[in-house]
Amino acid sequence: MRPIENAPPTASNSHDPVVIGLVSISDRASTGIYPDQGLPALQEWLTRALKNPVVFKPRLIPDEQDTISAVLIELVREGCCLVLTTGGTGPALRDVTPEATLAVAHKVLPGFGEQMRQISLQFVPTAILSRQVAVVRDQCLIVNLPGQPKAIAQTLEGLKDDTGQQLRIPGIFAAVPYCIDLIGGPYLETHPAVCPAFRPQSAQRPS
């Protein structure tokens, strides 16, 4: 099953257009046993967070290692600067997303997985069972995210208090735009209220 590719309303022309791959990995959701929640959660968060006009390339696939790797390669070839996956990162026998991601990697970025587990550990001790990884393939950043919509937002945004103020643990997306700069991708700009991106001053464009 392949969801229809789509784009939200176009943002200002002053922002670089971007193509982002979204991959939800689930045996049961991909066969229609229950509705997929991963793709809507990813698209909703990115639409809120990014100022750039975005074309999303969504994929809903089963927990098959070769299929996952093939889809990741396909999305990179289709011009994605960022691919976010959700699902299949635990220790269960069918959880093979990290293996499939590492199989297509040109570079591995361990800090993303370390930070995701630090965030999740604030909520559940079983976060130490998570095996999310992040890699670079060509000019694309690929990041494995948790499977639950609430955990996806927490991981991307970091921890906030009841008023929405950022607490001491930032989300991983704060580092994503600059990472994409470094690998030759487009200039991603975020809405600070959702997730302020960090760049060295020398890498920032004038407002």
Q: List the chain domain ranges.
A: 18-203
Cα(182)–Cα(13) distance, integer angstroms: 23
127-171 per-position pLDDT tens digit: 999 999 999 999 999 999 998 999 999 999 988 767 666 667 889
If residue 32 lies in a helix (H) or strand (E), which one and from where to where? none
78-135 per-position pLDDT tens digit: 999 999 999 999 999 999 999 999 999 999 999 999 999 999 999 899 999 999 999 9
> What's phi and psi for 185, nearest 5 deg?
-95, -175
What pLDDT, on a 0 to 100 scale, did the predictor assign at position 6?
Answer: 56
Q: Which of 102, 131, 126 is nearest to 116 (CA)?
A: 131
Q: Are 25 and 96 in contact (CB under 8 A)?
A: no
Cα(68)–Cα(51) distance, integer angstroms: 29
Query: What CATH number belongs to 18-203?
Result: 3.40.980.10
pTM: 0.91
